[in-house]
Every structure is written in structure tokens, then in C-alpha cells.
Amino acid sequence: MASSKHIIRLDHIGIAVKDLHHSNDLFEALMGKSPYKSEYVVSENVMTSFFRAERSKIELLHSDDPENVINRFIEKRGEGIHHIAFLVKDIEASIQDLKSNGFEFINETPKKGADNKIICFLHPKSSNGVLIELCQSIDPEK
């Protein structure tokens, strides 16, 4: 099985949290800095906070909607790592490359995500139980 030739680097690790304010305080104490960005993501119905960690980021994810995928994840598994995101050069080409290598997707059509990115998710059943997000910067300078 060939790997995706399109992955640039690890972009971020998404962490599902029950209380965004408390988690922001916790990660601020842990990392010694405040989140550089907080953003509501309409396509996912979540509020996010981002912390920089060198060239990668930590994304805290919270939703007030009890039926939201983040809350269902927390209900089933508790707070913790929800997904790992990889930055790609060309999300459409990455999707086609990975599909041809047997990976399944939750959404094959990229959508607007947080942090000025378009995103899609690989289904965990095709990636050893890990939810993988592919993201492409809308701003080519990032």
C-alpha cells in the first residue's frame, strides 16, 4: 500500500472537552501561553480554541449540542484525543490517492473547517481506529 504523497506535516491534535473555559485554563497553565485563536465552526457546530506547539497545534473542541459528534464521543469515551490532523498540499488529490489505496472517508467532499482550512475525515475503521483529518490551508502562505 503506497502512502499519500500529499501530506506536508502534522497540523494539529484535536481534543474533545466538556468545558472549554476550564480546558483553556488547563492548557494555558500546561503550555505557558494563551490560545492564539478561538473560533466557532459552523460546519461542525463546535467551538474551538487553538494553542501553538512549535509547528503543530492543539485544538480544543466543545459543543453545547448534546447530539453533536463531540458530545457523543465524550459520552462514549470521555474527554481526550478526538482526531489527528495532517496538513496536505492538495486535499482533492489526497482524497483520490488515499481512496485508491483502500482508505474510506466520512466525507469525501471537503468543507470549511477551523483555522482557515478546508477539511475532510478518514473513517477510523480504515485507519486503525484513529480519526484522521486532512486539512488544506485556504491561504496558500500558511
pLDDT at 141 over 60: no
Cβ-contact 120, 108 below 8 angstroms: yes
Overall pTM > 0.85: yes
- 95 by Cβ neighbours in 10 Å (0-12 / 13-18 / 19+) ranks as buried
Confidence band of 4 (pLDDT split at 50, 70, 90)? low
3-state secondary structure of 39: strand
What residues contact residue 132 under an 8 Å CB cut-off, 6+ apart?
A: 83, 84, 85, 86, 121, 122, 124
pLDDT tens digits, one per residue of 39-73: 999 989 999 999 999 899 999 999 999 999 999 99
pLDDT tens digits, one per residue of 80-128: 999 999 999 999 999 999 999 999 999 989 999 999 999 999 999 999 9
